Amino acid sequence: MILKPRLEDARNIGYYLGKVIIGLGLTMCIPVLIGLVCRESNPVYDFVIAAEAALILGLTLKTVCQSDKELTWMQGMIVVSLSWIAAMVLGAIPFYLSGHWRSYLDACFDAMSGFATTGLVLVGDLDHLSYTHNFWRHLTMFIGGQGIVVVALSFFIKGASGAFKMYVGEAREERILPNVVHTSRFIWLVSLVYLVIGTGALAFIARAGGMRLGRALFHGACVFMAAFDTGGFCPQSQSILYYHSFAFEIATIVIMILGALNFKLHYHIWTGNRKEIFRNIETATFFITVLSTFLVTSVSLAQTGIYKGAVVLFRKGFYQLISGHTGTGFQTIHPEQFAREWNNLAVVGVLCGMALGGAVCSTTGAIKMLRLGILSKAMVQDIKRIILPERAIVVKKFHHIRDTFLQDSHVRPALLITLAYLFLYGAGALIGMFFGYPFLNALFESTSAAANVGLSCGITSAAMPALLKVTYIIQMWAGRLEFMSVFTLIGFLVAAIKGK
């Protein structure tokens, strides 16, 4: 028998959801300041309206659902899944009011793409979008990359007893420090320090390329937020191709790789344990998969002969590959070139990189390197058990911050999440094919959405069917949260309807 959720469950969920929404409303004050500095009055009004809507909703939920109860695992997961939907709905308000999006659905698509650090876009006339709205696009990625709930834990839910349950619900399995609130603050410390350094480096390169100082700083900050949080939004419609700078491309590659690393690994690097980079199963697996997928991509592109010379192959082939593998989505080619110029095998190489992703507890999406490394070691372990004598004892270890004996408790969740991602990739591809797109293109776009990448082969546009937009929104949401909190919300809704 399915038990119907209690009123206490709804009150607890509403109370903490209200706190998260209040935090979101306060972050909308940042683009208001940008608009005031840039003297953009209409965009300022857009964000004042959106911030008021968020604060009114958040305060109402917090007041009506006042609770001092500890969050259960179920409640924490539901708060997380609903927080991301609320962020999409509220974050889309200033987008829609700007007039650069055809419909509110399109605005919601870009808001989810931003918060989920995907990078697929439906915005119209991006090159003439206000500084205020453009900054908000990239700020959503900075918030979403660290985690909407991490923002709340860092600043608005101090010492919450259910903090860890919300933290885990946002697809973060590891605590860097003993206290999860301190962990959230460390994640922000890392991000803000890199923000200052990365913005300065990118602005310097842009300024050296002839861009005026104020614009260079704006582009540097926006591109850094999208690169470190492996998002892929760019201030201009041509993405990184707009800058026509090899130095800019190298800088973004470094930032993308930093964003794809585990925040726990960043902690060990900052505290002097740099050997962990070479010993960790995630970085080793990442190195192997990048080499493997680039080998496939480069050999295939060499056969086509479209890129002459190693430097051009690196700037066009490797850049797209590392952008996809880190889950960023920056492009130095036009989306249509994937379908028109690249051969199928080269596209498959990038597609595999997108499907695999970066590290756990990072800003990337997709299957993740830790899971791939664990599954690989489990396969080797099982093969050894078959071929070695029955009396032989097979023990397998992996190193992830510390040496750990491989057990079924590691393999089972890794396999389940991997299968869930593969199903999500395939389901989106089938829906894309239903609307008449070729299989490889549909699979490429579906994987890009579900793995929170943002590379496009030309399918994603404001003219695509509304059902496909909704499909990609669901994929971005489920892929970013890695399913468990989404499944919990679905179960809660089913219980609310059918429970007794």
pLDDT for the residue numbered 170: 59
For residue 48, give the nearest of 65, 26, 63 by alpha carbon: 26
Q: Of 55-69, 283-297, 390-404, 478-492, which range is least confident?
A: 390-404
Give the confidence band of 178 by pLDDT, cuts at 50, 70, 90.
low
- Return the amino acid letter for 46: D
Q: Which amino acid is at 19?
A: K
| DSSP letter string, 59-128 | HHHHHHT---PPPPHHHHHHHHHHHHHHHHHHHHHHHHHHT-SSSHHHHHHHHHHHHTT------SSGGG
Q: Read off the tokens for 490.
A: 């679905």
Query: Residue 221 pLDDT > 60, yes or no?
Result: yes
Q: How confident is the model at residue 345 (pLDDT cuts 50, 70, 90)?
A: very high
3-state secondary structure 365-423: CCCCHHHHHHHHHHHHHHHHHHHCCCCCCCCCEEEECEEEECCHHHHHHHHHHHHHHHH
Tell me the two tokens of residue 50: 């959106």
Whether 289 is covered by a domain: the verdict is no
In this predicted structure, the answer to whether residue 181 has a pLDDT above a threshold of 80 is no
Residue pair 321/350 in contact (Cβ under 8 Å)? The answer is yes
pLDDT average, residue stretch 138-164: 68
**Integer Cα distance of 435 and 432 in angstroms:** 5
Q: Specify the pLDDT at position 403.
A: 78
Q: What is the pLDDT of residue 189?
A: 83
Give the model's confidence band at 136: pLDDT under 50 very low, under 70 low, under 90 confident, else very high.
very high
Say which range, 136-140, 297-301, 484-488, 494-498, has the weakest mean pLDDT. 494-498
In this prediction, residue 155 carries a pLDDT of 54
- Are 339 and 458 within 8 A, CB to CB? yes
pLDDT-derived band at 250 (thresholds 50, 70, 90) equals: very high
| The pLDDT of residue 160 is above 60 | no
Q: Which residue has the higher pLDDT, 3 or 426?
A: 426
- Secondary structure of residue 397 in the 3-state scheme: strand
Whole-number pLDDT of residue 309: 84
Which of 313, 309, 315, 312 minimizes the C-alpha distance to 295? 313
Q: What is the pLDDT of residue 253?
A: 96
User: Does the structure show a pLDDT above 70 at 468?
Assistant: yes
Question: d(Cα 34, Cα 6) in Å, to the nearest integer?
Answer: 44
In a domain, 292, yes or no: no
Count of structural domains, the chain? 1
Tokens describing residue 134: 């453009």
End-to-end CA distance of the chain: 7
pLDDT score at 179: 63
Whether residue 202 is predicted with pLDDT greater than 80 in this model: the reply is yes
CA–CA distance, 130 with 150 (Å, rounded to integer): 28
Where on the phi/psi map is residue 435: left (φ > 0), alpha (ψ -120 to 50), or beta? alpha
pLDDT given at position 351: 95
Q: Is residue 12 part of a domain?
A: yes
- pLDDT for 492 equals 85
Q: How confident is the model over 230-243, as pLDDT tens digits?
A: 988 999 999 999 99
pTM above 0.85, yes or no: yes
The answer to whether position 189 is within a domain reads: no
Between CA 481 and CA 284 the distance in angstroms is: 25
Say if 167 falls within a structural domain. Answer: yes
**Beta carbons of 365 and 356 less than 8 angstroms apart:** no
Task: Quote the Cα angle for 71-117-158, to 5°.
Answer: 30
Distance of alpha carbon 177 from alpha carbon 213, whole angstroms: 39
Range of the domain at 18: 1-173
pLDDT in tens, 374-404: 999 889 888 888 887 777 666 778 888 787 8
Higher pLDDT, 358 or 429: 429
Residue 431 has which token pair? 């829906």
What angle, 0 to 180 degrees and rounded to 10, lies between the N-to-C axes of helices 7-27 and 29-37? 20
Examine residue 85 and state whether it is found in any structural domain, yes or no.
Answer: yes
How far, in Å, are 61, 231, 249, 332 from residue 320 at the CA level? Answer: 44, 14, 11, 7
Residue 377 belongs to a domain = no
Cβ atoms of 198 and 225 closer than 8 Å: no
Mean confidence (pLDDT) of the chain: 88
- Residue 210 has φ and ψ, to the nearest 5°, of 110, 0
What would the mean pLDDT of 152-181 be, rounded to a whole number? 57
Residue 223 lies in a domain: no
Q: Which residue has the tokens 């990625």?
A: 141
